[in-house]
Structure 1
Amino acid sequence: MKKIISLAPGRTCLFGDHQDYLGLPVIACAISRSIKLTAVQNCTGVFKLSMVDIDQIRIIDINEIFSELEPRDYFASALRVLRRYGCIPNVGYDITVTGDIPINSGTSSSSALLLAWINFLVTAFGVNEEVTPEFISKMGYLSEVVEHGEPGGMMDHYSIGVGNVVYINTVSPFSFTVIGKQLDGLVTGVSGVPKETIGLIGELKGNALLAIEILKENFKDFDLNTTEIEDLKKYCDFLPDRLIPYFKAAVKNHHYTKMALIEFQKTSLDLKKIGELMNGHHAVLRDLLKITVPRIDAMIDAALKAGAYGAKIVGSGGGGSIVAMAEPGKESQVVEAMLAAGAVAAYAVNVDPGARIVNTF
């Protein structure tokens, strides 16, 4: 019986949270925590998915076309999308899913599971396209965001699918560039406070887009991608008070991402400078978008006091995780400080090469 092992890492956003759905760039990296999908061919005509870590079993008929989707059923939406690209299941598999990415923590456990599933399906049944990291990433984005009409962007899928440290340009024409394969000193801390993704992203995205729409009505040449911090006063005079924080956040976060890209393009990385930019980015997320919670703030303060160069909340917010840039060799001190501040888990991470098929038999 054929056996396929598919692995997909989690990710952390270094710069550009709440930016990709506005057409602004992101710097993210895949991290060394992953979802592993082990599939063994069977003779039943079904996919039997045993999700060990959450003690759930899902049975899917290989001929099911899913004319209607249940919310967030990414197993189904991926099958539906891949059928359009010539991926037609013709045999069943017994599939065991395990992983060490904390669930609902802001490090994309759901997107990692989705890309591991997509990579398995493509490997098992083929497609009518060249299979590249970009193709796998695109299938993830279509399956999770487009097919379900969700408000997220492309960051999760391309950072996991492409791997490494990646600069993602989300404005048309879309592009991505691997800007690094190693980043020392990364530490992730998990707050244990469940994040609220869909509703929070929808609210922040809606308010930011409304502000942009108003400015386009008043300035024919307005372009968010070329707006600088110096332009804020001119533009904010045309916005209602309640929308100003969302617009300011978009411009300031974009500024920190641009400054970070300059640092990543240098021959030798200045981790202290990157950490300082992280701190500036986090201040925007905390003070303007207000997506932090007390435990997240405590963990970040503790990490900085323990000697981290910088730290920030990761992902949609309202809970989840943080990422810190520690001085290499002092990661354990930052880990201990996070745990003392209330983190339910904290650990050093390395940059991961991305979603991949580990083995086929």
Structure 2
Amino acid sequence: MMKIPEIKSQAPARICLFGDHQDYLNLPVISCAINKYIKIKGVENNSMNLIFRMKDLKKKDVIPINKIFESVKNEEYIKLTLKVLRKYGCVPNKGFNISISGDIPIKEGLSSSSAMVISLIKFFIAAFGINIKVTPKTIARLAYEIEVIEQNSSGGKMDQYSISIGNTIFFDTLSEKIEIINNKINTMVVGVSGEKKDTLNMLSYCKKNQIESIKEVKKKYSEFDIRKMNFNNLDLYLSCVANNLKPFFIAATKNYKITMDAFSELNKKNIEMRKLGNLMNEHHFLLKNNLKITTKKIDKMIESTHSSGAYGSKIIGSGGGGCIVTLCEKKNVFDIIENLKLSGAKDAFEVRVC
């Protein structure tokens, strides 16, 4: 009996190293894909259904291949993916038994949802074809349409491009120009808080206030552009901003400068990891004190890494819980992991760029 061919796809998690809460401002980010994955595999069946089994969630879903979705609830990623791909000629024409599994912590700031969507896109294209040229950028754009445009979300483009392209990248979200950074950061540790977070509302809150603060400056200085800003004029610009929005303007502008300084450091022949770690700490300071996206547990976890020899640490993603990332020397990995767990982390592990 001939074995039925199996289709496989996978997509990695991502870490934002510099530029959290910058991509939706059309500013650059530095991010990397890491060796944690969402994996999908499927074989044809004799039905007219797509039968999904989510192993880790212990869920099952059955979708008829001729089902056309007029409207889909947010975060129903399988249905959202099928809906958007149909517009580009990727239309189910046979049934499949499909299993979905992974080792990315869910809703913890490592972009498990984007990894899921990109893995689904790759699977459906392999199974049913599509009427457009397929490149990593194409897949990223499709994922962005599914996750952000289709859901009317406040998110940016970093997750989709970082995961689809892989490696460590400098991504200009305005021009969509991408530079792969060849100087890989060798040693990183991720700490998982286990705290539930409200990604969409947190993103919306920070985006709204940062954009509003920039608009207030542009009312008086219409040509204002963060990319061209002279930081000696920060107080001048702050005088145009309402007091409650000042912290958001400071975060928007200073985080941009930190990202560019980090990019310069990463492009050196010999990276000064201590300097890069200090920039990461500065970035986290603004995320904590200006955007206020950390929690008591996250703060405690960050403190534990500093007492364990870390170069630098920061919260990852939208905030309100989730994960942290730590830059460190290989010799300190064990102590950092142990102390993260002692500080209340649900889990902690070393990761590498992939």
Deviations 1:102-135, CA, capped at 9 Å, x for gaps: 1111101111111110110111111122211111
1:85 aligns with 2:98: no
Measure the CA separation in 2 of the matches of 1:177 and 1:85. 28
The residue that corresponds to 1:167 in the other structure is 170
Q: Secondary structure at the match of 1:267?
A: coil
The letter of the residue matching 2:186 is: D
1:217–1:273 CA distance, 2 compared to 1 (3 A): same
| 1:328 shift after superposition | 2.5
Of residues 127, 130, 142, the one that matches 1:127 is 130
1:285 aligns with 2:287: yes
The letter of the residue matching 1:63 is: N
Measure the CA separation in 2 of the matches of 1:32 and 1:131. 23
Q: Secondary structure at the match of 2:330?
A: coil
Measure the CA separation in 1 of the matches of 2:48 and 2:156. 34
Counterpart contact for 2:183–2:267, Cα < 8 Å: no
| 1:230 shift after superposition | 2.5
1:228–1:99 CA distance, 2 compared to 1 (3 A): farther
Counterpart contact for 2:12–2:36, Cα < 8 Å: yes
Of residues 235, 238, 253, the one that matches 2:237 is 235
Deviates more, 1:67-76 or 1:307-316: 67-76
Q: Secondary structure at the match of 1:308?
A: coil
Deviations 1:130-171, CA, capped at 9 Å, x for gaps: 211111111111100011100000111111110010111011
| 1:228 shift after superposition | 4.1
Please provide the CA RMSD for this pair: 1.2
The residue that corresponds to 2:58 in the other structure is 55
Deviations 1:288-339, CA, capped at 9 Å, x for gaps: 1111101111111111110010000000000000000011232112111111
TM-score (norm 2): 0.97
Measure the CA separation in 1 of the matches of 2:232 and 2:129. 51
Measure the CA separation in 1 of the matches of 2:44 and 2:185. 38
| 1:181 shift after superposition | 6.7
Within 5 A, what are the aligned runs for 1:1-361? 1-171=4-174, 173-180=175-182, 182-352=184-354
The residue that corresponds to 1:356 in the other structure is none
| 1:7 shift after superposition | 0.9
| 1:227 shift after superposition | 2.1
Measure the CA separation in 2 of the matches of 1:195 and 1:178. 31
The residue that corresponds to 1:359 in the other structure is none
Q: Secondary structure at the match of 1:53?
A: coil
Deviations 1:159-215, CA, capped at 9 Å, x for gaps: 1110010111011x2221211373211100001111221111101111111112222
Counterpart contact for 1:11–1:30, Cα < 8 Å: yes
Give ranges in structure 1 of 5+ residues lacking alignment: 353-361
Measure the CA separation in 2 of the matches of 1:302 and 1:228. 36
TM-score (norm 1): 0.95
Q: Secondary structure at the match of 1:103?
A: coil
Give ranges in structure 2 of 5+ residues lacking alignment: none
Give aligned-pair identity as a percent.
41
Deviates more, 1:30-39 or 1:75-84: 75-84
Measure the CA separation in 1 of the matches of 2:58 and 2:51. 13
Q: Secondary structure at the match of 1:72?
A: coil
Alignment size in residue pairs: 351
